[in-house]
Amino acid sequence: MNKKTTEISITSEFITLGQFLKFADIIYSGGEAKAFLATHDVVINGELDCRRGRKLRVGDVIEIEGQKFEIK
């Protein structure tokens, strides 16, 4: 069974992982990003990454707790 990929549209060149978490309604405020990333696995384009400043660009795929997102 394939899981649905949620598309997240951005209008800038990139968005940071911390901003993405808030934009995708995974966390409620930017201040929660550090704690969230310390306790949850985030896979970006197949690689584990927990840097809240990681730049995400169009085409990047993010997987968090069984949810899949793609930057559009």
What CATH number is associated with residue 31?
3.10.290.10
Confidence of residue 1 (pLDDT cuts 50, 70, 90): very low
pTM for this entry: 0.88
**Domain limits for position 9:** 5-71
Q: Per residue in 13-70, pLDDT tens?
A: 999 999 999 999 999 988 899 999 999 999 999 999 999 999 999 999 999 998 999 9
Q: Total domain count for the chain?
A: 1
Q: Which helix (H) or strand (E) holds 11?
A: none
Strand-by-strand arrangement of the 61-64 sheet: 5-8, 67-71, 61-64, 42-44, 47-48
User: Could you give the count of Cα atoms lying within 13 Å of 33 in the half-sphere of its Cβ?
Assistant: 18
What's the full length of the chain, in residues? 72
**3-state class of 40 per DSSP?**
coil
Whole-angstrom distance, CA of residue 52 vs CA of residue 29: 13
